[in-house]
Amino acid sequence: MRRAFELARRGAGETSPNPVVGCVIVARGRVVGEGYHARVGGPHAEVVALANAGPAARGATLYVSLEPCSHVGRTSACAPHVAASGLGRVVTAVRDPNPRVNGAGLRTLRRAGIDVSSGVLRREAMHLNQRFFIAAREGRPFVLLKAATTLDGRIATRTGDSKWITSVAARRTARRLRRLHDAVAVGIGTVLADDPLLLPQPRLKRGFHRVIFDSDLRLPPSSRLAKSARRSPVWVLARRDVGRRRRALEALGVRVLVQGARGSRVSPQWAMETLWRNGIWSVMVEGGAELLGSFLAARFVDQLAWFRAPMLLGGRSSLSAFGGRGPAIIADALGLRARSRLSGLAGDALVPPTEGLEIWYPG
């Protein structure tokens, strides 16, 4: 099964909204076929492994990191294909949490007379596909908050200078982290200050969305984001419709989504609902401070990637990573637990160990 996990990681970044899946077929103690889901819309891991195994699959044991799917999506269902293959046994790590599957694939296999076992290395399998599991169960995008700070938690000096707190290697790792998500999100303040492109590296074959929280629709048509909107989607989440500005951005291919409710800022709750309705299963929120603070206050935090540079800023007026009012009492703080390594990110090869990077989870 761990070999199936290794294979699954090869598809990291290219399969969303599908999970990463690996598959190994063993006959008489020998591996006769392997496969993994390489890209969204492409053949699934089981189909690839069975094709590689050929006639040797008959009577063999298939190990797969996730329950075979039982519904038709971009590709045909895997479970009926596996059931008709002549396998003697199927071992899965965990059930597919998608309500359209969730045990139906296993039932299909059992009805075909195949010996089925499930739950092997279940916790590791769930962590391998943590973004997929949380999105499927919660009905909202998985949220990674990314912060890059000094040791005392600062992201800019009192004058707003922030280039560069972290190293070139840390910034490269952050761009690689983007590849594991469907979208990256920043506030308009970050865009106006830095004029970023916000693209992942290496570039993805699948679609990647750049989301701007821009309550008053201030994104300049001359910005690198607006000018590159036809290369990679740019979505602006606005609080109100500013006609002329909206038309100028939409003419460049920018998609403008308007909250249309009272309040001075776009709410994280509305943003999450909107992104989910539009097919975004995971989002990496990169800042600035007010945006990170709003997600923290709303408790939309599934993972924190914290890059800490070996320097101190100090000063009352230097900017902290998380803005907003913050809680009134310590009991309302968000508790975190750490992981000592990147294992489980699904993209271990894409996101190499980087000095100063810590991965934290709520709880």
CB 132 within 8 A of CB 172: no
Nearest 5°: phi and psi at 169?
-65, -40
For residue 173, the number of C-alpha atoms closer than 13 Å in the C-beta half-sphere is 25
What Cα–Cα distance (Å) separates residue 216 from each residue in 211, 240, 266?
A: 15, 6, 9
Partner residues linked to 237 by β-bridges: 213, 257
CB 26 within 8 A of CB 32: yes
Handedness of CA 177, 179, 185, 188 (dihedral sign): positive
Euclidean distance between CA atoms 266 and 243, whole angstroms: 18
Neighbouring C-beta atoms of residue 330, cutoff 10 Å = 6
Q: Which two tokens stand for residue 83?
A: 């059931």
Rg (CA), the chain: 22
- Secondary element (H or E) of residue 127: helix 122-128
Euclidean distance between CA atoms 336 and 304, whole angstroms: 9
CB 170 within 8 A of CB 354: yes
Residue 263 is which amino acid? Answer: G
Residue ranges of alpha helices (H) inside 187-267 are: 188-194, 224-227, 243-250
User: Which residues does the annotation mark as catalytic?
Assistant: 46
Eight-class DSSP state of 91? E
Euclidean distance between CA atoms 78 and 65, whole angstroms: 13
DSSP state letters, 305-319: EEEEES-----TTSE
